Structure formats: C-alpha cells, structure tokens
Structure 1
Amino acid sequence: MAAEAQGRAPDRGEGRPLRWRRRRSLGLTLLALGLMLLAGWGAFTVSVQRRTEQLRAESNHQLDLFAAAVQGMVRRLEPMPATVQLSTEVQALLRQPGDAARVQAASSYLRRLNAHLGGMQLFVQDQRGIVLAASDPALVGDDLSFRPYFLEALSGRVGRHFAIGVRDGVPGYYVSHPIHDGAKVVGVAVLKIGLEPVDEAWGMLGAPALLADSNQVVILSSRPEWTYTALAELPLERKVDLQVTRLYGDHRITRFPLQVDLRVDEDSQIVEGVLPAGLGASGAQGRSAASRGMLVLGRTLDGTDWRLLMFADLRPVRQQAAQDSLLAGVSAGFVLLLMLLVNQRRRIVQQKLQLNAELEEKVTARTQALSETNARLRKEVREREQAEHTLREAQDELVHAGKMAALGQLATGITHELTQPLGAIRTLSGNAVAFMQRGQLDAVSGNLAIMARLAEQMGAIIEPLKGFARKSKAQPQAARLATAVHNALFLYHQRIRNEQVTVHDATADSPLAAWCDPNRLEQVLINLIGNALDAMREQPQRALWIDAAAQDGRVALRVRDQGPGLDPALRDRVFEPFFSTKSAGGGLGLGLAISRDIAREAGGELEADNHPDGGACFTLWLPPVPHDAVP
C-alpha cells in the first residue's frame, strides 16, 4: 500500500501544472476575445461617427440645393401682388365696389396678369374680406376674411401662408399685399401660387422629405401618408384657430408617425435630429422607417415660416460600420495571433537552448528526411519533364493531323470544281467527232477552241481553290459581266436545253463591268447557275433570271431561279463549308462557301434570299471599275 501510495504521489504532482496550463490558456483565450470585441466596438463607434458626418455633409449639400430650388419655385412671384394696386381698374373698383362694369374690367385685368405670371389664382378683397374681382369668376363675392393672409395684409404687412382653397380644395401658397389709397389700406391683393413643382422635385433628394409650416403641420411630403400630420402635439387653442381659418380644409390633423427630437440653430436656422432605431413609430411606414434609424436634417426657408426636413437612412452607415468593426476585430485577432506566435517562438528558442543535444538529433533526423524529400522531388521533376516532352510530341502530331485534314478539304474542293468543266469537255469532244464525220470542219474547229479554253479555265480553277485555302489575293481587272454570264451559260447549254429551262439574261447587251478577277467571276456564276438548275430539277416550270445593275456605288449581279426557295431555318447556313441541302452524292457543300470567299476577296459580298415571286435569289455585290483603270 505504501508503494502504491508512493506511485500515485507523482501523478498528483504532475497534474497540478497541467491544470494550471489549461486555466492559463483559457484565461488568455478569453482575454483575446475581449480585446477583439473591444477593438470591434471601438471601430464600429468611430466608423459610425465618421460616416454619419460624411452622410450629414452630403445630405446638407443636397438639402441646400433643394431648399434653394423650393425658394425659387415658391417666392419668385411674391412681389407680384404689390403691383396690383398700380392698376387703374383695381383702384376704380375699390372706390365703387358695386359697379358691375368696374368688376368686369378689374377681373379681366387680374385674369390677364395671372395668366402672364403663371399663378393659380389672383384676386382683390375689400376691407371686409369680400372678394371684389378675381382671375377665377367663381371667387367673386366669397367672404375670405377669416384667412390669416387677409388679416396680415389688412394690417399693412405682407402675408405669406399655406392654405387649401375653399372652393377648389387645392393647396397653395398665398401671398397678400395691402392696397393703399394714400396712407389708408382700402383692399388686399392676393396671389395663390401652385405647389405642384415642389411635389415633382422630391426626387432630387433621393430620401424621404417634408415641408412643415409655422404650425408644425406637414403641408407637402414625398410620402403622401405624412401630409397633414403635426410634428408636435398642437395646443387646444391652436386647433380651434385652425378650424376657424380652415387652412387645411377638411383634413383632420393627426400626429406625425415618427417622434423626432429636433435641434434648431438660431443663427444658421439649421435643423437636425436623429431618429433612433425602434423609437416612436406608428403605422407600417413609421415602423419601417424607425426600425433602421434615420438622420433628420432640415432648413428654415428664407422669407417664409416653412421648415424643410429630410430623413437620411442610417442603415448603410451601420452596415459599413459593421464591416469596419468586423475588419478591426479580425485585425486585432491577427495581431494577437502574431504576438502569440512570437511568444511561442521565444519559448521554442529557450527550449532549444536547454535541450541542445536533443535538438541536434532532431536536426539530423530532419536533415535526412529533407534529403529523402529532395531526392523524391528530383525524381518528380524528371518525370514531369518527361511528361512535358511527351505532351509536346502529341501537340506536334495534332498539328500534323490538322494540316492533313486541310489538304483533304482542298483535294475535295478541286474534285468538285473540276467536275463541270470536264463534263463540258466530254460533251464538246463528242460533238467534234460527230461534226468530223459529217465533214463540218468549221464546227470541229470551234469546238476544239472551246475545249482549249476550258482546259485553260480548268487550270485557272485550281488557283482560286488554292487561294480559298490560303487566302491569297487575286489579280483584279475590268471584267465585263455580259461576257462572264455568257461563258457560264455556255457550259450549261446542253443541260439547259435538255431540262427545258427558260433563261432570261438581261446582261447580254449590258456594258456593266466590275473590278475583279474574270476567271473567279465566271467560277462564282458557274456555281450559282448550277445550284439554280439543281433546285429546279423537280419543278414543272423552270426559268432562270440573270440581271445586273449599278446600285449604291457597287455592281449588283443577281441570279434567280423558279425553284422551291431557301428554307428560312437553313438560310443562314448555306454558306457553311460542307453544308448541302442536296441528296447524298449531289454535292459536297463547298460551292457557295468558295463563291462567297471569292466575292469577299474581290471586295464584295454574296447574299442569299428568297424572291417575293418565289424561288431563291443570290445577289453578288462587286466593286465598280475605278476611273483611273478605264482605258
């Protein structure tokens, strides 16, 4: 038992440092987390302040511009009512208010002046507040003595008030001026200015905004649900005054859905406040605005008792601040981790100093492991170099295979293009034998001459095909279209006669010429005419139209058939190499591709379309003969 006790004592001694190290590690971890949270909170606070100031500066700039615009819209016509007392018609009416002729003359004057100013209404009241004359005849005779703007003008001051029209129910800005007869106020001139331009300009701010009057009642807002609500609780006597003056018509003034604590700078008249998240919201719109927090900025408009407020959303500020906080926390964690690594390195150095012998053995073992690793790496490098060499050889083989495929396409194209001239030579040679048996040597001579020309043309066919493969340039010259068409039709003369095809050649007597290689032009025509004859093979009526014209500074040569036309779904593919709509063995699908390449080499184009009267129509566009090239 004593021995067993002696054996357990070292275990308890060794357990105490282990528990201490665990507690120390836990404490350091908690400390690091605390420092990271502290750094994140500090960065969040600083970022919110800095970005709020930036948002405040940007919003104040927008607010200044909008306030200036609103002042220009509302106050540009304020001096106009003062000029009404200069009118002789108005002065005469105020001296004799009951004269119908003077009422009509003064109303006509006010109507013309209001139309020139662009106001909503312009009218004149007597000392009792009765409208004597107005631009709107419906106002004449109304008693508006209860309006504040009338009372202020009657006392000799300029009245400026928002109010809703008694008759039309349209809100406006009323400006009133006293009309003097000497030192006595004998009447009041009132101009109603429309506020529609202000409603149309809310988009300039890009944020919810409102206009409130001296009663702190919202008279205009970018959000309709805010209109005719009070920013502060109205006293009972003020509510009674509003009912008497009927400034807001029949609208019931309710409380503004957001509770905003505003601060007003008496010197600059700058209004500012913050709507904290979740405070004082009633209604869906109020809860939506208050849930994210808003910066409230405002201005008192010069010369009016109106206050302009804008609600800038603080959500982007907080989102960016949250990102800054996260970045600061991560940075603090990185610094702490770096400090931990430095401390760990210091401890490792101390351990190396204490256990030098053990470390030397470890270094030896690691050196041997590194040597083995280097040997494996050298082997892998050799294997990789061998793989790269094999890949390079495979690439060379692929390039060679591509060249062989191109040579196969070229051989196929030559076979396709030489088929028709060889058929013509076969026909002409048979005719020559028949003519010799008859003794018609002149005809034999003509056929042999044609065969010689076709042989030369066969040699010329090979060069364009090689040009199609390697994009070589042709030798352009003045090529007469009638000659090219005649030569192409001659090759198909026997087939045209056997298949009873009616040819309408409008180029026979045409002097038109194009700037291109004549042999290549004939080759294009041979392809187009051959395709047209193939398309009409099953048609009961077969006709071929060929015409040429100078158009848009170019030469247009058209070949039209009486076949079924081009399938709209396949029309864009007819110029693809090896694409053919003919039956198996009817063609290789290279003729149109080569023809379009020839046209483009000459500086022109080959287009395919269906003719309105039926059949396919191919248009060959070629450049005209230059003036300096005409002999």
Structure 2
Amino acid sequence: MPASPVLNPHAIPRPHRVLGLAGLLVAFLLLGFFSYRISEHYGIEGMRQAASHQLDILGAAIDSEVTRHASVPSAVELNPDVIALLRAPVEDLDIRQAEANRFLQKLNDHLGGPAIFVLDLRGRVVASSDWIFSDNLLGSDLSYMPFFRDAVRGTPARHYAVDHIRHEPGYYFALPIRDEEREWAIIGVAVVKSGIREVERRWLAQEAPALIIDRNDVVLLASPPEWRYATLRPQSPDTLERLGRQQFAGQPLGAVSLDIDLAGADEGRIVRLPKHLRDDVAPAQGARPYLAMSRHLSGTAWRIVVFSDLRQVGVQAATHAALSIAALGCVLLGVLYTRQRRRLARGREEARAMLERANQELERKVEARTVDLSAAVAGLQREVQERQRAEQTLRAAQNELVQAAKLAVLGQMATGITHELSQPLGAIRTLAANAAEFMRRGDAGTAARNLGIVEQLTEQMGNIIGPLKTFARKSPAVSSAVDIGGAVDSALFLFENRLKKEGVVLERRIGADAATAWCDGNRLQQVLVNLIGNALDAMHDEPVRRLSFSSERTSAGKIALAVTDTGYGFSEEAVARLFEPFFTTKQPGEGLGLGLTISRDILRDFGGDLMAGPAPGGGARFVVLLPPLPQGKPT
C-alpha cells in the first residue's frame, strides 16, 4: 500500500490565497466606505447646526443695526413743522422749509447718524436733515425710487437703494404723511435712510463666502467683495437696467452671475461654485463643495446666505475611514505577528551568530588598520616638523635679505649723506673755534650766538641721521596705525639728493579717508624704498621724470596706495613674470630680481598685497594694498 503524501499544515493553496487576499481587500474597501459616509453625515449635520447658529447671530445683528430707525418716519409724520411745510403756499416755502430742516437736523443729531428727509407728492426732497452740507438732498428727485411709489399709494415701505447724490447705499423706511384737515389725504412722504456701514464691516470680516440677497436675487453685500451686485441667476439686460436705475443710482448689475440654485437652502444645501468664480476665493475653497444655509431677515426683504467649506468634513471623514481601515489592519497584523514570532526568534539566533563572526572579523581589520594609521600619523608628524623648520629658515633668510637690501640702499646713498653732513660739520668746527676765541676776549654774546648756530646745525644733522637709523633697524614686524603720507615722506627723504639731481617731479595725492593703514611702518617704508628706487632707475634716461603717489579706499575697505612713474614700463612677458624670484628687467649686474618678490611677501605678512601693471600714458604703476584700521583702534 503506497504511503500518502504529507501535507504542510501552514501551506495554503495558491487559488485560496488569491481569494483570501481579494476578500480582505473587499472588506477593507467596504469598511472604509461605510466609515466615510457615516462620518460625513455627522460632520455635515454638525456644520449645518453651526451655520444655523451663525445665521441667527448675523440676522440679529443686522436686524438691530438696520431696523432700529424704522419708527423715525412716524415721528416726522406727526411734526407740525413738517405738516406746515407740506401745506404752505409757494410764497411761504422758504420759511417753512427752514423750520422743518432744523427739526429734522435735531432729530438726526439725537438719533446719531441716519439721514431723514421729506418728499412732496412729486417725489422731490423739500426738507432734509443734511441741509447744512453742500451735497445735501434738498431738491433731489426721488420719484423713481420704489419706496416713494409705495408710500404715495398709502403703503409703508422699506427698501434698499443707493442715492444718486452721494452714491451711498442704505436701507430706506418710508411712511405716507396724511393731513387730517383734508380728510387724511396723503400730502407727502417721510423717509429715513439707515446706514449699513457697520453691516458692511461685519460682513467683510467673514472668512467663508457669505451673501445678503434682496428680493430680486441681487447680491447687496458679499464676502468676497467682488461678488457685490452680482445675481444668483442670469437675468435679462432690461431687468438689470431697470433695477440699476431704480435702486442703485445707475450702477451696473449682473456683471457676474453666481449661477447658484438656493432652493431648499433654508435647511442646508450642498452647492458647488462655478469654475469662473473660484479665483475670487481661496484656491482650496473654490475647488470643493460648500454647504449653503440661508435665512430670511424679519422686517426686510433680505435673505442671508452663508457658505461653509466642506473640506474639513471630507478630511475628517477620510481620517475616520483611514482609522477604521488601520484598526482592521492592526487586528490582522496581530494575527500575523503571532505566526511570525517563532520564525523571527529563529532568525534572531542566526543573526546573532553571524554578527559575532562579523565582529571578530571587524576587530581584526581594525587592529591591522590602526597599525597602518599609526605609522602614517608618525610620518605626517615628521613631515610637519620638517616643513616648520623649512618655513623658519625661509623667514630668517627673507629677513636677512630685507636687511641686506636696506644696507645696500644706505650704501648707495653714502656719498650723498657724507656731503649733507660735511657742510654742517665744517660750519660747527669754525663756529666752535670762533666761540672759544670770543669767550677768551670776553665777548660772551657773540660766543652765545655762535653756539646757538652750532645747536641748530647739530639738530639738522640729527634730522638727517634719524630716518637712516630707523630705516636700517632690524626689528620684527608689528602692526600699528601708520600714517601713509609720513611713510611716503620718510622713503622720499632717503632719495632726496637723487631726486633733486635727476629733476624728478613729485605728485602726492593722499586721500583723507585713506590716510591711515594698519601695518608695520618700517616694513612699509622698505617696500616704498624699493618701489621708488626701481622707478628712478626706470626714468633715468627718460626726458620726462614724474613720480606720483595717490591713495584711496577700495570697495572691499582696504587702502590702495598707487606709485606711478613715467619710465620705460613693462612688456606683456615682464608683467606675467614680474614677481618671479631672480627675474629682473634691469641690465645684468644691476639687480638680483628679488626686490618685488620680497616686497610682496612683506605686505602679505600683515594682510596686504602688491600688484603691478602699465600706467596710462606709459610707465609703470604699482598698487600697494594695505589693511584698514580695525574697528575700535585709535588713529
């Protein structure tokens, strides 16, 4: 008898697995659908109640604001001055009109704001509370107004309209004025215009779209304000023209049609704004449906409509549906979790063993890499020490070169200095001998004058020797506030004899805002001596010898000191290689080609730089860039 095959109790046949997954998907969809619909239903009900409460509040506020002056025409009707005005013959109209105007003005001041006026049977304003203003209503023809036509027929009227004088909208209350002496015949109309500015302010503060509609389905107030004077449904041009002429002082109506059906909106109706209106509200609002709730205002022919955005209801319903699906998924995940727990336990044991092996291998690699890194670090430390020693040696050599250059300049000027000192020395010798002879003779005054001249000559020699000692001193670079003009003068002093001998014209333009730099004065003087010496060498055989100094402040805040000469200038190749060590444009034996390189290094040590190029009109132009004074440093 053959053995029956052993089946895995956890294995599910493939067709059954597909059906199970399809059933789970259907269960998820059904649960989400019903959860969404139930949540949406309760959300709309809650929004309907909130909108109804909002309508109650808005209706009460509008009613109290608009209709609080409804009884004023009754007081006007009973006033004897008004009755006398309407009874008066033509010759007494001016006197009677003034008395009626004052009464209406006092009544208006007492009530605080509404416009009160009286119409005769022709519809003309014969008395008004605003008679003292230039834009008053006196003499205006309001016979076209619907409230006048109703009132002269004996019916009290109330109506929204815009007057053609001030073009201000308002709510009009009209009451016929009857004369008891003429068997209560109608002799005029008493009208009060209630302002709606406070209503407009409240209305424009609404976040969601809201409307006030009159009995002709014309929007009187709206949020957004672009919907004002729109119509709910398209109307004929003749109807719109007639309404605009009668109620709105000729303003165009119906430029925008909302195309909204508000049938059943008293209990709440879901509407969608037309596509052409969605730009008038926020994009997120215009793209979704709204719950429209309307309410008739008692005592007026107005209807309030509030639109509540259903986006929040949809989001909340979708959230509830997602939570329901997530709850069902959590239940299923719990079942799967119990099945996978044992399998995960076995997997953790295998992973732990693999991790231990990997850790051991990683430790071996880290140990080998650590040895390599230690050797590399030791090599880098040795290289850094060698570089530091090389840098120290280089700086020492540079300082020696600077000092050697200084001494070379002093050697070149030794002859001129000797000549400058020999004359004062000879004069001192002669004056000292004369002073001794005068003292021997007892002429102390003459001896004192000779000794005074000796003192002046000695001070003159000190002025010659002082800059030479400062220039020749070997000292470390220390930045301080340096007067650029003084540094230029000190450098020029060392070439005074040569400048006079060769007839060099000096131009010195030091800007007031670029006269002080933060650098080492002695090092700056060394750079200037090098630049001046090169300029004099370049101008030696030129017919025009002019040396110019100018300073200005760059856009980056640095001080730019320009040294310009009229020498033979540079070639393009020389400009490209000008700062290379041992490159020179002088004749062999006249220079080592290190002066400019050393000068640029000196400037860079304290944050400056040196640039070179041809000068306009011929010659060379060197620009010394120097750092400005730090903030807070005294000049």
Report TM bin, short chain: 0.5 to 0.7
Cα distance in 2, alignment partners of residues 306 and 244 from structure 1: 17
Distance 2:39 2:79 in 1: 63
Tell which deviates more after alignment, 492-501 or 329-338.
Answer: 492-501
Measure, in 2, the Cα distance between the counterparts of 1:368 and 1:163.
Answer: 88
The count of residues paired between Structure 1 and Structure 2 equals 529
The residue identity in structure 2 corresponding to 1:259 is D
Match of 2:569?
Answer: none
Equivalence for 2:259: 257
Distance verdict in 2 for CA 1:486–1:314, change over 3 Å: same
RMSD: 6.7
Which one is further off, 31-40 or 387-396?
A: 387-396
Task: Map Cα deviations across residues 267-310 of structure 1 (whole Å, 9 max, x no partner).
Answer: xxxxx624156xxx777549998973212345666875533323
Q: Which residue of structure 1 lines up, in the alignment, with residue 29 of structure 2?
A: 37
Counterpart position of 2:476: 460
**Amino acid in the other structure paired with 1:502:** E
Displacement of 1:342 = 1.1
Aligned pair in 2 of structure 1 residues 311, 581: CA closer, same or farther (>3 Å)? farther
Distance change in 2, residues 1:407/1:558 (3 Å):
same
**Aligned twin of 1:427:** 409
The answer as to 2:306 corresponding to 1:310 is yes
Amino acid of the residue matched to residue 36 of structure 2? F
2:125 to 131, 135, 144: 131
Aligned equivalents of 1:523, 1:399: Cα separation in 2:
34
Change (3 A) 1:128 1:562: same
C-alpha separation between the residues in 2 aligned to 1:72 and 1:391? 88
For residue 453 of structure 1, what is the amino acid of its counterpart?
A: T
Give the distance between the partners of 1:197 and 1:535, measured in 2 at CA.
85
Note the 1:276-295 alignment, pairs <5 A.
284-285=276-277, 292-295=288-291
Which SS does the other structure have where 2:413 is aligned?
helix
Distance 1:218 1:529, change over 3 A: farther
**Which residue, out of 158, 170, 173, partners 1:176?**
173
1:213 aligns with 2:214: yes
Aligned 1:589-608 pairs, distance under 5 A: 595=606
Q: For residue 207 of structure 1, what is the amino acid of its counterpart?
A: A
Shift of 1:123: 4.0
Amino acid at match of 2:268: G
Distance change >3 Å, CA 623–CA 23, structure 1 → 2 = closer
Matches of 1:78 and 1:562 in 2, distance apart?
A: 93
Question: 1:331-389: per-residue Cα shift (whole Å, max 9, x none)?
Answer: 5324312312314558x79xx9xxxxxxxxxx8x9989975763343112321454466
Q: Please point out which of 359, 380, 388 is paired with 1:377.
A: 359
The percentage of counterpart residues that share the same residue type is 22
CA deviations on 1:36-68 (whole Å, 9 max, x unpaired) are 334433553465467668877997898899879
Contact 1:505 1:545 in 2 (8 A): yes
Structure 1 residues 368, 25: closer, same or farther in 2, change over 3 A? closer
SS in 2 for 1:206: coil
Residues 142-184 of structure 1, C-alpha deviation per residue, up to 9 Å, x if partnerless?
Answer: 3537623774699696x5421355x579672233365879988
**Equivalent residues in 2 for 1:24-423, closer than 5 Å:** 24-41=16-33, 43-45=35-37, 48=40, 93-96=85-88, 98-99=90-91, 101=94, 105=98, 123-126=117-120, 129-133=123-127, 140=139, 142=141, 144=143, 147-148=146-147, 151=150, 160-165=158-163, 172-176=169-173, 178=175, 187-192=188-193, 204-214=205-215, 217-221=218-222, 222=224, 224=226, 227-230=229-232, 246-247=246-247, 257-260=259-262, 262=264, 264=266, 273-275=268-270, 284-285=276-277, 292-297=288-293, 304-315=300-311, 317-319=313-315, 321-322=317-318, 325-326=321-322, 328-343=324-339, 345=341, 374-387=356-369, 390=372, 422-423=404-405
Contact 2:265/2:292 (<8 A) preserved:
no
- In 1, distance between residues paired with 2:52 and 2:534? 79
TM-score normalized by structure 2?
0.57
- Counterpart Cα distance in 1 of 2:21 and 2:89: 93
Of 614-623 and 428-437, deviating more is 614-623
2:589 corresponds to which residue? none
Change in CA separation of 1:339 and 1:61 when aligned onto 2, cut-off 3 Å? same
Q: CA separation of 1:540/1:342 partners in 2, compared to 1, >3 Å: closer, same or farther?
A: farther
In our comparison, the structure showing a higher alpha carbon Rg is: 2
1:124–1:131 contact (8 Å) kept in structure 2: yes
Work out the CA distance in 1 between the residues paired with 2:333 and 2:312: 31
CA contact (8 A) 2:488 2:528 kept: no
Change (3 A) 1:338 1:89: same
- In the alignment, which of 501, 504, 516 is matched to residue 506 of structure 2? 501
- SS of structure 1 residue aligned to 2:143: coil
- With over 3 angstroms needed to count, the CA separation of the structure-2 counterparts of 1:540 and 1:198, relative to structure 1, is farther
1:409–1:301 Cα change, 3 Å:
farther
Tell me, in whole angstroms, the C-alpha distance in 1 between the residues paired with 2:386 and 2:19.
Answer: 76
| Residue aligned with 1:175, SS | strand
Letter in 1 for 2:146: R
Please identify, of 435-444 and 142-151, the stretch whose mean Cα deviation from structure 2 is larger. Answer: 435-444
Maintained 8 Å contact 1:547/1:559: yes
Structure-2 residue corresponding to 1:268: none
Q: TM-score, normalised by structure 1?
A: 0.57
Structure-1 residue corresponding to 2:445: none
Long gaps (5+) in structure 1: 1-5, 234-238, 265-271, 353-362, 465-473, 508-512, 549-555, 565-579, 599-613
Tell whether the 8 Å contact from 1:171 to 1:195 is kept in structure 2 after alignment: no
Instruction: Provide structure 2 residue ranges, at least 5 long, that are not aligned to the other structure.
Output: 426-459, 566-574, 581-595, 610-620
Q: Tell me if the contact between 1:261 and 1:273 (Cα under 8 Å) persists in the aligned partners.
A: no
Q: Which amino acid aligns with 2:331?
A: V
CA distance in 1, matches of 2:58, 2:390: 75
Paired residue for 2:446?
none
Once the 2 structures are TM-superposed, how far is the Cα of residue 428 of structure 1 from its aligned partner? 1.5
1:305–1:625: structure 2 CA closer, same or farther, 3 Å change rule? same
